[in-house]
Amino acid sequence: MVSDKRKRVVVGMSGGVDSSAAAALLLEQGFEVIGVTLKLWPQDCVNRAEDKCCGPQAVMDARAVCHRLNIPYYLVDEAEEFQRLVIRYFADEYKAGRTPNPCVMCNEHLKFGNLLRKARALGADYVATGHYARVQRDEASGRYLLLRGRDLRKDQSYFLFSLRQAQLAHIIFPLGEQTKEDSREVARERQLKTAAKEESMEICFVPDRDYGRFLRISGLVSPHRGDIVDMEGRKLGEHEGIEFFTIGQRKGLRISHPTPLYVVGLDAAKNRVIVGGAENLEHSELTVERCNWIPFEQPSRTLEVTAKIRYNHPGAAAIVEACENGTATVRFREPQRAITPGQACVFYQGDVVVGGGWIRG
């Protein structure tokens, strides 16, 4: 925790209980707090839930919390940047046969990129959010470390692995030591409007979890027929676009087969969905690219880590070997199911996030 309590901090206000509790805690710790909501969608946005992704209700709730706390509140239009940095990336990854992780990109470029620059323009030293994670400075190396949140059920450090030292040095996570119920209690005790607000576990711009429908009705992807083939290249059926499939998927294949089939590969060049049995989903090795290392610039040796290949993956023992051009090889002690190109693979040693990268196809 930052010791100088006279510092000014901008809190990213989503209209939820977590950011509300974060603002309240920082105010009581003596910080000068400013609330900011990033408006990420235009008014005519596609398929936006009214209470999510800076919808009208979320903005009203964030403003009401700031009014209750008697702190300044600003609504900042970032719709153009969100479209360019997150939505376009989201569609392009699916078109390339990869499964994107828009939350990581939004954190890196908007919440701790553009918002940090806005904070500096307001004379603020820090940006804070309601993420369940921790930042600590290692006195020996002088580097800032990213750690899991104390409440492992809510830990969000996976989505923050790509943050750089220049960002981590100016970030505060007030909820890092708390549980979700602790945060609700903070909001209840202070009579904040968001105290009982329902939590969302969805991608903010795909509130019904149907990302394929979002891609279609937003005009980002048009159906284009291709073949569904087995591991030997034999045609088993047809599809309307590889964008509507992801590794490990079983439903929606519309193929009659004596044994269960799963998506085991996506061939963007040939517009093919490749299917196989459950055994074809098991792999012991992967390559990541665009690695970000946090405790050091580059590991000097192989590392023993716990690696998570998706957010809800429990993590598995692995050996990581850093290679050239920002890549690394990850070798698991036991085969892992449905390793998915485009997803983040994040490395931990205990609670410390060592780094991570993007799974190469």
pLDDT tens digits along 207-239: 778 899 999 998 999 999 999 999 999 999 999
Whether the model clears a pTM of 0.85, i.e. scores above it, the answer is yes
Give residue 54's pLDDT band: very low, low, confident or very high (50, 70, 90): low
User: What is 225-276's CATH number, 2.30.30.280, 1.10.150.120, 3.40.47.10, 2.40.50.140?
Assistant: 2.30.30.280
Predicted confidence (pLDDT) per residue in 190-200, tens digit: 999 999 998 77
Per annotation, catalytic residue among 54, 103, 204, 345: 204
pLDDT band for position 43 (cuts 50, 70, 90)? low
Catalytic, 204? Answer: yes
Per CATH, is 282-359 categorized as 2.60.40.420? no
Beta pairing class for 344-349 and 303-308: antiparallel
Residue 6: its pLDDT value, please?
65
Q: How confident is the model at residue 205 (pLDDT cuts 50, 70, 90)?
A: confident
- Encode the chain in three state secondary structure: CCCCCCCEEEEECCCCHHHHHHHHHHHHCCCEEEEEEEECCCCCCCCCCCCCCCCHHHHHHHHHHHHHHCCCEEEEECHHHHHHHHHHHHHHHHHCCCCCCHHHHHHHHHHHHHHHHHHHHCCCCEEECCCCEEEEECCCCCCEEEEECCCCCCCCHHHHCCCCHHHHCCEECCCCCCCHHHHHHHHHHCCCCCCCCCCCCCCCCCCCCCHHHHHHHCCCCCCCCEEEECCCCCEEEEECCHHHCCCCCCCCCCCCCCCCCEEEEEECCCCEEEEECHHHHEEEEEEEEEEEECCCCCCCCCEEEEEECCCCCCCEEEEEEECCCCCEEEEEEEEEECCCCCCEEEEEECCEEEEEEEECC
Q: How far apart are alpha carbons 54 and 62 in whole angstroms?
A: 9
pLDDT at 44 over 60: no
Contact 52, 188 (CB under 8 A): no
Q: Which candidate, 204, 186, 208, places its Cα nearest to that of 196?
A: 186
Active-site residue, selected from the candidate residues 53, 54, 66, 106: 106
| Structural domain spans, the chain | 8-189, 225-276, 282-359
- In the prediction, which pLDDT does 200 show? 72
Q: How far apart are CA 175 and CA 26, in angstroms?
A: 10
Question: The dihedral of CA 13, 14, 17, 22: what is its sign?
Answer: negative
Q: Is 291 a catalytic residue?
A: no
Contacts of residue 198, Cβ cutoff 8 Å, sequence gap at least 6 = none
Across 281-289, average pLDDT: 98
Cα-based angle 324, 326, 332 (whole degrees, multiple of 5): 85
Angle at 278 between CA 277 and CA 281, to 5 degrees: 105
Across the chain, what does the average pLDDT equal? 93
Please determine, looking at this structure, whether the domain spanning 8-189 carries the CATH number 3.40.50.620: yes
